[in-house]
Chains A and B, each alone.
Chain A
Amino acid sequence: MELFLNAIVSGLLLGGFYAAVALGLAIAFGQLDIVNIAHPAFVIVGSYVAYMVNSRIGLDPVLIGLLFAPVFFVVGGAIYRVYYASFERTGQEALSGLAFFFGLMFIIEVLLIMIYGVDYRLVAAPYIGSTWRFGPIAVPLRMLVPFVTALVMTAGVYLYLSNTFTGRAILAVSQDRLALRLMGADPIKIKQLAFGLSIATAALAGALLIIIGPVEPSMNRQYIGRVFAIVVLGGMGSIGGTLVAALILGVAESFVATFYGPSWAPAVAFGILLITLALRPQGLFGRY
């Protein structure tokens, strides 16, 4: 029973963090139809930025993530410009666009290996070692801080998308471009903004990742399956659905790791993904 409760709690904490990683892809893949398979690679870059600044001047990782989000935002916008000019404008995003992001992911990973090597890197923060106890349930702060930060970030993105003009324009861009243009918004600018936002979330998600545990360059591959499973299960771009799907995946992984051993955990996400694609491709909260 104690094991069971702990598995649920640590699964929920993990799931909340997964929501932070998947959020950017929910925007890019779900709303903009840009299959950014390199998203986890950007998250790892966020981790390494946090590591670099933290080890030099000892700043809090979450703060670093927030400070660098604007930089990631600009980079994301620039990448969208390139993507638009090379693929979207000519209608080649299906094959070439996918391969483009695949190549990008690969380049990021190899560059990180060449600069930092394949060793695991970690950050220092006062709360990382300590654990709160509620009776039999243990809540390590290195899980709780990312969980809370992720929930705040998800809520922030949700409010932004549903309550501001530009946010609503982002939601509209994948549905009806012409109507959007008639409302006086340029679809390309809106998509550039949204993709920038998507990459900006990776800065913070990366900082959270390196709080949870040590990071090395090839870790992004494990997250590809997780983020796509979450986004597809969550119904492609629904922010609330993404959060629910992330929590489901977190709990499922935690149970498998507790009762079958951690070496089976990577297959959980892909199992969920394959089952979702086969049985309910529109996801739990799909629009159609």
Chain B
Amino acid sequence: MRDIVFWMAVALIFLLGVLATKTYDNEFFFFAGYAVLQATIMAVAWNILGGFTGYVNFGSAGFFAIGAYTSVALHKALEPSMLVLLLVAALLGGLVGLGTGYLTLRLRGVYFAIATLAMAIVFETFVTNWQYVGGATGAYILTPETVLFFDSYIEFLFALMLFLALGAVAIARHLQISRIGKGLAAVRDDEIAAECTGVPTLRLKLVSTTTMGALMAVAGVPYPFFVTYVDPLSAFNLVIAVNAIAMPMIGGTAIWYGPVVGALLLGSIQEIATVTISSEVNVLIVGVLLVTFIMVAPQGIVGLIRDCWRRRHKRG
């Protein structure tokens, strides 16, 4: 029953999004919407590992850039369709996630965190020295004027991103409510106890890192077409990594819709702040909010609301 409600809501949101591209002309809305949706995928993907198992990934920007540079390299070589780009990027991102996880997840959690950071910098150095995709100076991408039945390319990208974001949310939800999710929660709460009762902890953690890596790479695929110019500094931007951590932490890490709440809220604030104040202030806001929430409300907004609701329920 809850499944039916969920899937109907997903279908409705997607249809409304596509309808918006037909009825709404303001291009800025779609640019801003694209940015918020990209952040949503990153946040949801980060939470599949960070929130469900308690392992911190600092290298989100690295996974994102794998997707972005898969796009740049393949587009330059073969100009395949978007679907092919997405599949290849998901495969590569998943493999890197699996590899990083396999190397470090048997150690303490902190080593995984540092290794992800290391992975991002190694890739950045590699891409900076790879002349085929533009090296340090970056690469330009020419986008087609229109695609399918959309009036402009940004409307197509917006609809694509909406589809991907909904897909990411569905995957995260499925992972949490299925048997795997129970195992992951056991890993987060007490890994040794979980291992002792027969939960295959390493395999579950590897499922998480692989899914996370694949989703983050997918989020990066349309990026070169969105900005039309990619260089290592923008693709590996630290802001991407910080947002991927801040949004789930602020929204709430314990449940699949926590990062969605965080991403929609924080993403919208950022879009408004970038336009009205300045981008530095906007970045500062994220940092301060992140630290404040971790210290004062570690359960995030979702946790706060749930606490309020419970308290009122008890009294009544």
Instruction: Choose, from A64-72, A91-99, A133-141, A142-150, the stretch at the interface.
Output: A91-99
Task: Let me know if B284 and A98 touch, CB within 8 A.
Answer: no
Q: Which residue of A lies closest to B286 (CB)?
A: A106
B residues near A228, Cβ cutoff 8 Å:
114, 117-118
Task: Let me know if A278 and B284 touch, CB within 8 A.
Answer: no
Task: Let me know if B238 and A106 touch, CB within 8 A.
Answer: yes
Task: Let me know if B113 and A263 touch, CB within 8 A.
Answer: no
B107 contact from A96, A98, A221, A277, Cβ within 8 A:
A277
Interface residues on B, range: 35 or more
Of B117, B126, B246, most A-chain CB atoms within 10 Å: B117
Task: Let me know if B284 and A114 touch, CB within 8 A.
Answer: yes
Q: Does A53 touch B at the CB level, under 8 Å?
A: no
Q: Does B262 touch A at the CB level, under 8 Å?
A: no
Q: Does A14 touch B at the CB level, under 8 Å?
A: no
Per DSSP, chain B at the interface is helix
Separation in Å of the B205 CB from the closest CB of chain A?
A: 14
* Total of A-B residue pairs, C-beta within 8 Å: 112
- Residues 49-108 of B at the A interface (beta carbon under 8 Å): 50, 54, 56, 58, 103-104, 107
B residues near A270, Cβ cutoff 8 Å:
117-119, 121-122
- Please judge, given known A-B contacts A221-B238, A225-B117, A274-B115, whether A99 and B56 are in contact too, CB under 8 Å: yes
Q: Does A110 touch B at the CB level, under 8 Å?
A: yes
Q: In the complex, A80 Cα to B126 Cα: how many Å?
A: 37
Q: In the complex, A102 Cα to B46 Cα: how many Å?
A: 15
Separation in Å of the A185 CB from the closest CB of chain B?
A: 26
Task: Let me know if B287 and A224 touch, CB within 8 A.
Answer: no
Q: In the complex, A271 Cα to B121 Cα: how many Å?
A: 10
Q: Does A113 touch B at the CB level, under 8 Å?
A: yes
Q: Which residue of A lies closest to B248 (CB)?
A: A99
Q: Does B291 touch A at the CB level, under 8 Å?
A: yes
Task: Let me know if A94 and B54 touch, CB within 8 A.
Answer: yes
Task: Let me know if A274 and B122 touch, CB within 8 A.
Answer: yes
Task: Let me know if B118 and A274 touch, CB within 8 A.
Answer: yes
- Residues 258-288 of A at the B interface (beta carbon under 8 Å): 263-264, 266-267, 270-271, 273-274, 277-278, 281
B residues near A94, Cβ cutoff 8 Å:
54, 109-110
Q: In the complex, A82 Cα to B114 Cα: how many Å?
A: 23
Task: Let me know if B117 and A267 touch, CB within 8 A.
Answer: no
A residues near B125, Cβ cutoff 8 Å:
263-264, 266-267
A residues near B175, Cβ cutoff 8 Å:
none
Task: Let me know if B115 and A277 touch, CB within 8 A.
Answer: yes
Task: Let me know if A281 and B107 touch, CB within 8 A.
Answer: yes
Q: Does B228 touch A at the CB level, under 8 Å?
A: no
Task: Let me know if B128 and A263 touch, CB within 8 A.
Answer: yes
B residues near A95, Cβ cutoff 8 Å:
50, 54, 56, 109, 253
Task: Let me know if B291 and A98 touch, CB within 8 A.
Answer: no
23 contacts between A and B (CB under 8 A): A37-B58, A37-B113, A95-B109, A96-B294, A98-B110, A100-B291, A100-B295, A103-B242, A103-B291, A106-B242, A107-B288, A110-B283, A114-B284, A221-B121, A232-B111, A263-B125, A263-B129, A266-B125, A267-B125, A270-B118, A270-B119, A274-B115, A277-B114
Chain A residues packing against B (C-beta within 8 Å): 35, 37, 82, 86, 92, 94-96, 98-100, 102-104, 106-107, 110-111, 113-114, 218, 221-222, 224-225, 228-229, 232, 263-264, 266-267, 270-271, 273-274, 277-278, 281
Closest 9 CB pairs of A and B: A270-B118, A267-B125, A103-B291, A103-B290, A106-B287, A107-B287, A86-B295, A110-B284, A98-B56
